[in-house]
Amino acid sequence: MNILALETTDQVASVALLTDGGCFEKRIESPLRHEETVMPAVDELLAEAGLALGDLTALAVDVGPGSFTGVRIGVCHGNAMALALGLPIVAVNALEALAYPQLGGDAPVAAIIDARNGNGYGALYAPDGVALIPPCAVEIAPFMECLPKDAVLTGTGFPGADGALPLAGSIASIAARRGGERAVSPLYLRPSQAERKQRA
């Protein structure tokens, strides 16, 4: 098992490689755009693990929601690599990746991503990872009012947010339990700012 995962939906991108020997992850904190940094980071990660692209068995990518440009970059890179290498690709959404490190306890986990002006993206997961409220575009205040009192909150979209971001390591771990596809599609959940302005 050699799964390469890409996460480009937020300001800080990351790439990860999940192998039988463990998970190797690289966070990309750079002023450059993700489209300029992701593939060099993949090359560095593979070199550190002593692997080549031909050793990969699957790809995984965060399909959103998040930055519209970031989502497109990750999905386009992932699909292009899957096609070129003849590998399956697994879609993982940003909210389940965000919730993943908090799962396994006694309480449900609510993942909330800020989308500005009181809006966001939210989902609620049972401790075993089953979606109780699937990913959706939300008004943050009403969404939080409907959550269970014991829910663990994680993300960037609520008062006192822990600032957690979806990470490629979580995406790879989730993907390891799923079957892949030939290609994946973005999960936007709401129109882009340009589309909203055009409708106004």
CATH number for the domain harbouring residue 41: 3.30.420.40
**44: confidence class by pLDDT, cuts 50, 70, 90:** very high
Does the pLDDT at position 200 exceed 80?
no
The torsion defined by the Cα of 188, 190, 194 and 195, in degrees rounded to 10, comes to 110
In a domain, 20, yes or no: yes
Provide the pLDDT for residue 14. 97
Provide the pLDDT for residue 61. 98
* Total count of domains within the chain: 2
Provide the pLDDT for residue 33. 87
Residue-range definition of the domain harbouring residue 99: 95-155
Lowest mean pLDDT among 21-35, 124-138, 183-197: 183-197
Q: Domain with 124 in it: what CATH number?
A: 3.30.420.200
How does pLDDT run across 86-143, given as a tens digit for each residue? 999 999 999 999 999 999 999 999 999 999 999 999 999 999 999 999 999 999 999 9
Provide the pLDDT for residue 162. 94
Task: Report, as an integer, the average pLDDT of 33-45.
Answer: 93
CA distances from 13 to 7, 180, 193 (A): 5, 22, 22
Q: Does residue 20 sit in the same domain as residue 73?
A: yes
The whole-angstrom separation of Cα 183 and Cα 79 is: 5
In a domain, 102, yes or no: yes
The whole-angstrom separation of Cα 45 and Cα 91 is: 21
The torsion defined by the Cα of 33, 123, 184 and 42, in degrees rounded to 10, comes to 40
- 11 or 88, higher pLDDT: 88
- 126 or 195, higher pLDDT: 126
Q: Does residue 8 sit in the same domain as residue 79?
A: yes
Percentage, residues of the chain above pLDDT 70: 96
Provide the pLDDT for residue 118. 96
Does the pLDDT at position 10 exceed 70?
yes
Provide the pLDDT for residue 30. 84
Supply the pTM of this predicted model: 0.93
Q: Does residue 172 sit in the same domain as residue 79?
A: yes
